[in-house]
Chains A and B, each alone.
Chain A
Amino acid sequence: MKRTLFILLRNPLSVLGLILVGTVVLSAVFADFIAPFPSHRGAVVDFANFNKAPEWPYIFGTDLVGRDLFSRILYAYRISLLLGVVVLAIAVPVGVTIGLVAGYVGGWIEYVLMRITDVFLSIPPLVLALSMMGLLEPTLTNGMLAVTVMWWPWYTRLVYNLTRSEKEEGYVLAAEVIGASRAHMIFREILPNCVPSILTKMTLDLGFVILIASSLSFLGLGVQPPTPDLGSMVADGAKYLPDSWWLTVFPGLAILVAVFGFNLLGDALRDVLGAEQ
């Protein structure tokens, strides 16, 4: 653990990743204390100060009803991270279990499970989530649901491939010879060896879930106002380009910073843990 941290801190890009992710997470958690206008997360209107270019105290400017963009972006991070964590918390266990079973048990179970996975993988992820969101009510919960449905198969694929190669390893054969049960094999022998890869992918994916969720709301199928959401901020602001550029540029950069941070950190973890792609 100490060694891992040491290697991480040696690489400036990893350090940058840590800093970015740290900033994003902290600003989401402590938004109530950092945001200059905490009430602006909700339905507040202030027509004396609407559509203002960045100036003190509105460092990112104000939106069309006079709310502070900086405060709203902080709260939007909170929603994005929450969404990312929930999606992964559901998608990873489901995907990993299916992948382990398909990869280890084999036979017709493998065939059926992997074909089902293929079906989900053959619809471009965004298209699948989009069609689901188009058909459901656009709420935070449904957004999570739609993204989760498109996400699990990728873990199934990853773990399936890992399991298949682990299966041929000597230690697995040895454990089988001494009569270990299937459940023991899957969860005690094979799974631990997949953990570095899964962990790395999760870090990277936290960024990508944020990215996909913002894409959904960009098309108007995400979280609804007045809840602050980065994707819808970009979409709404894009109508007022180029005059009110701050409405789009800051939320856009906010997405970039968060996803970039998670990517840097994921990359660093991959190098350190030696995980497979």
Chain B
Amino acid sequence: MMPPIVRLLAKRLGTSLIVLVGVSMLIFAIARIIPGDPARIALGPNATAEQITMLRERLHLDDSIAVQYGYFVRDLLRGDLGISLYTNRPVTADIAQFLPATLELIVVAGLMMILIGLPLGIISARYRGSWADNLIRLLTLLGVSAPSFVWAVILMLLFAFFLPLFPIAGRITDSYTIEPVTGFLFIDTLLAGNLSAFADAAWHIVLPAFALALSGIGQAARLTRSNMVETYDKPYIEMAQSYGFPEGKIAWRFAFRPSLIPSLTIIGLDFAAMLGNAFLVEAVFAWPGLSRYGVAVILRKDLNAIVGTVLIISAMFLIVNIVVDLLIAFINPRIRYSQRAT
């Protein structure tokens, strides 16, 4: 590996770690200043005062916020996020069980975003001003103009209710019993060698992933288009054209490749935004993922679980951004060798 890349990676990781500590403090502070007694909520409607006092002690709820944060960091370093009051299990176990479903959804949505969004953007730029360009621009703008829950509901209404092409909820049909090895159904069904279960899981993910991807598709297409259009105005394209290079080659080699970098940045951001939007889509499609868990614990004021979930999501957000940065650095030597301070 080239040392500058390693240096860049080290720097990014360092900054991200500082940011992550900040995130943990922010979330922790928000979670602890709320009105309401988590111990009482945990013990349920018929708990006695003694039981509540005992649980408060066990959860260190009577200590100062700084001390509580200290306990939290100590436990966190041991990989212990506490017990979820909602499921009565360790938060880490909950996250481990529910995260794969969300990741699977986001990865598929991300692929849709790239595989549909970029080509649309390229076509739009290549045939700038044509009816195809205008149509794509209109459609992609529509895509970003509604929250993913509206798309989820509309897609569900059209393709699950009125035209029952797709299942309306869940990850897989009940009749398949798949041993959870990784928690990723796409991998587990293959490990089990069960192709029809794989197809069934794929069939289940189409609508939710598309609903989640729609605004990303729009963003990616719009951005690719505007960047390529800008590049098209550069003199070297005109030169290439006058040299008689084929249009397709010009589009790909000279117009698209340089515009990939800004598109990648936005795709990274959109990918991360999906972590948030998954909250909405999972609610509509009864997708048993981390976001649905997140909503459930937020509504129940389950502190450990809220802090754990938000922390994990933020960590993933940061990781995605680092990966995108590295990718860009890899593609663009100028950035690879001269990183700015921030």
A interface residues with partner B (beta carbon < 8 Å): 13, 114-116, 118-120, 122-128, 130-136, 207, 211-212, 214-215, 218-221, 231, 234-235, 238, 241-242, 245, 248-249, 252, 255-256, 259-260, 263-264, 267, 277
Contacts and interface: CB of A to CB of B under 8 A. Distances in A.
Interface stretch (B51-59, B66-74, B113-121, B293-301): B293-301
Given A131-B30, A219-B295, A220-B299, A124 B19 contact: no
A260 B30 contact: no
A16 to B, nearest CB: 9
A120 to B, nearest CB: 8
B277 A126 contact: yes
Given A241-B157, A252-B150, A263 B26 contact: no
A118 B27 CA distance: 14
6 contacts: A115-B19, A118-B19, A122-B314, A132-B30, A214-B147, A220-B299
Interface string B124-140: 00000000001001100
Nearest to B275: A124
B156 interface: yes
B203 interface: no
Given A13-B137, A130-B279, A267-B141, A211 B147 contact: yes
Interface string B308-323: 0010011001100100
Nearest to A207: B145
Contacts of B284: 238
Given A134-B299, A135-B298, A136-B34, 5 more contacts: A126-B276, A135-B31, A242-B157, A245-B157, A259-B146
B273 A252 contact: no
Contacts of B280: 126, 215, 218-219
Nearest to B22: A119
A215 B27 contact: no
Interface of B: 15-16, 18-20, 22-23, 26-27, 30-31, 33-34, 134, 137-138, 141-142, 144-147, 149-150, 153-154, 156-157, 161-162, 226, 272-273, 275-277, 279-280, 283-284, 294-295, 298-299, 301, 306, 310, 313-314, 317-318, 321, 342
Contact of B154 (A122, A126, A135, A249): A249
Nearest to B31: A135
What's the dominant secondary structure at chain B's contact region? helix
Contacts of B314: 122-124, 127
Nearest to A204: B144
Contacts of B145: 207, 211, 256, 259-260, 263
Nearest to A262: B145
Given A131-B27, A242-B157, A234 B150 contact: yes
Contacts of A215: 147, 149, 277, 279-280
A255 B147 contact: yes
A74 B147 CA distance: 19
B294 A127 contact: yes
Contacts of A245: 157
B279 A122 contact: no
B142 A256 contact: yes
Q: Which 5 A-B pairs have the closest CB atoms?
A: A126-B276, A134-B298, A124-B276, A119-B22, A242-B161
